[in-house]
Amino acid sequence: MRFTLLGLLLGFLGIVSALSATGSSLLVIIEEEADKSKYSQFWADLQGRGYEITYRSPKDTNLSLFLHGEPAYSHLLLLPPKSKGLGPNLTPNLLVDFINGGSNILLALSAEQAVPTAINSLLLELDINLPSDRTSLVVDHLAYDLTSSAEKHDVLLIPSAEPKKGVVDFFSVDGLVAFPRAVGQVLGNASPMLSSIVKAGASAYIYNPKEETEGVEDPFATGSQINIVSAFQARNSARFTVLGSSEALQDTWFDAKVRLPGTDYKAGKTSNKEFAQRLSEWAFKEIGVLRVEQVQHSLDEDTKDINPKIYRVKNDVRYSIEISEWDVDQWIPFNPPTGDAVQLEFSMLSPFHRLSLNSSPSTTNKDATAFSTTFRTPDQHGIFNFYVEYRRPFFTAIEDKQTVTVRHFAHDEFPRSYEISAAWPWISGIWVTIGGWLAFVAIWLYSKPTRDNKPASAKK
């Protein structure tokens, strides 16, 4: 539904979706025209991937994120402004509306300038916390770049994290990624919509260079609490990505020569270019977008009658859902990461069944994987849902609900008593009783009471 609305909008704008699953119009907020050239490789990469980039300054009075009440762009890249704030056209409220409209935001921060309060409060809305003094950066005395920050230790060199079990791995690159003068974020642990993309090393901490004191007392966050890159996916699956270091996207750091201190003095080039590509692919919905293709349910023995409205209790039911995944420029069959499974709930208020679905290549659609299972409807009549809810980090959410009625047995659908061997003694009990009764009636009618016996009792 959301996709179709957005597609309609994009049709009006005359923009054809090239790579991203949602659209190719990208608005870049950059304050000074001169800074544009610093990111030339990144722009070239984006344009090469089919994005139509519009550059605007936050001071531009004509700047508007919306056209006729709908987001005017599919994606927004916010580079850190030189001035104190983002201006009246990019208030936190408007940015949240922009996400609610289904568009994606990639927000780049930098510790070079103080983070605007507007951005601070926007991030607080999403349960992402920044250091309160707004000029702090992340330092790591064990994982810095010797060539560029031998003194300050503020250029972090971070390798890709080990992929977690059951979580898709979109961001891992070979080698080290440099994050110069990064703003560390701390994610609230209550929100299931937040996930961390890059974490600082165990020896990192947040430090304010403007503070006069020697050494750091009571730092805002330390170690892997600090997120250098973090992601937020809204309920409508719009993506909001926070990149702690905007410099990481600059040409200087694409394939820069760096040296990591340590016993082996590992030297080499940074993988920033590849990481920037991966990050923008994800942030602008080129990867990790899931779509439900076809949902079928039927009786197990009668697969011709597809998606009937009504089932009976204790029916054997077959359910199948086809899911495909957008991968840069095409739909491919979706396979959940190892250790994860798509699950089906058969629920009335609460689930009566929660089953992991078995995946197999779809027979009808080469771009989709069919997830299917068979199960027996519970001994409970009512209105039930076939409910598939798949919400995982870095994947857009899938929610599919098919409502059916489950009726009880009709009175002629119960098995006959003689089909149940346990009932045989009672069946014979009835017939023995009836037979005995017939014999009794026969003897009663046959034997007329003898008058001789009667007087003895009749006298009483």
Task: Find the angle CA(363)-CA(294)-CA(17) to the nearest 5 degrees.
Answer: 105
Phi, psi of 175 (to 5 degrees): 80, -170
| Closest listed residue to residue 31, CA positions, set 92, 105, 83 | 83
| Closest listed residue to residue 193, CA positions, set 393, 31, 454 | 393
Residue 444 is a binding residue for another protein (CB under 8 A)? yes
Residue 443 is a binding residue for another protein (CB under 8 A)? yes
Task: Find the angle CA(83)-CA(89)-CA(93) to the nearest 5 degrees.
Answer: 105
Least distance between another protein and beta carbon 409 (Å) = 11
Q: Name which position in 84, 164, 366, 454 contacts another protein (CB under 8 A).
A: 454
Give the nearer residue to another protein in terms of CB position, either 267 or 442. 442
Residue 167 is a binding residue for another protein (CB under 8 A)? no
Q: Name which position in 189, 213, 263, 447 contacts another protein (CB under 8 A).
A: 447
Pairing outcome for strands 316-327 and 369-376: antiparallel
Please choose, out of 252-260, 295-303, 318-326, 440-448, the segment that lies near another protein by the rule CB under 8 A: 440-448
Across 256-269, b (16+ Cβ under 10 Å) vs e yields bebbbbeeeeeeee
Least distance between another protein and beta carbon 313 (Å) = 16
Least distance between another protein and beta carbon 435 (Å) = 10
Residue 425 is a binding residue for another protein (CB under 8 A)? yes
Q: Are 74 and 26 in contact (CB under 8 A)?
A: yes
Q: How far apart are CA 144 and CA 151, in angstroms?
A: 10
> Mind giving me the DSSP string for 223-244?
GGG-EEEEEEE-TT--EEEEES
Task: Return the half-sphere exposure (C-beta side, CA atoms, 13 A cut-off) of residue 197.
Answer: 26
Least distance between another protein and beta carbon 338 (Å) = 44
Residue 442 is a binding residue for another protein (CB under 8 A)? no
Task: Find the angle CA(341)-CA(388)-CA(75) to the nearest 5 degrees.
Answer: 90
Q: How many residues bind another protein (CB under 8 A)?
A: 29
Q: How far apart are CA 92 and CA 121, in angstroms?
A: 7
Residue 189 is a binding residue for another protein (CB under 8 A)? no
Least distance between another protein and beta carbon 408 (Å) = 15
Task: Find the angle CA(292)-CA(296)-CA(302) to the nearest 5 degrees.
Answer: 170
Residue 441 is a binding residue for another protein (CB under 8 A)? yes
Residue 460 is a binding residue for another protein (CB under 8 A)? yes
Handedness of CA 208, 212, 215, 216 (dihedral sign): negative
The owner of tokens 């909008």 is 9
Give, as ranges, the residues between 64 and 123 that touch another protein (CB under 8 A).
none
Give, as ranges, the residues between 362 and 421 that touch another protein (CB under 8 A).
414, 416-417, 420
Q: Name which position in 150, 267, 306, 430 contacts another protein (CB under 8 A).
A: 430
Least distance between another protein and beta carbon 379 (Å) = 14
Residue 1 is a binding residue for another protein (CB under 8 A)? no
Least distance between another protein and beta carbon 428 (Å) = 8
Residue 34 is a binding residue for another protein (CB under 8 A)? no
Site for another protein, rule CB under 8 A: 414, 416-417, 420, 422-423, 425-427, 429-430, 432-434, 436-437, 440-441, 443-444, 447, 449-450, 453-454, 456-458, 460
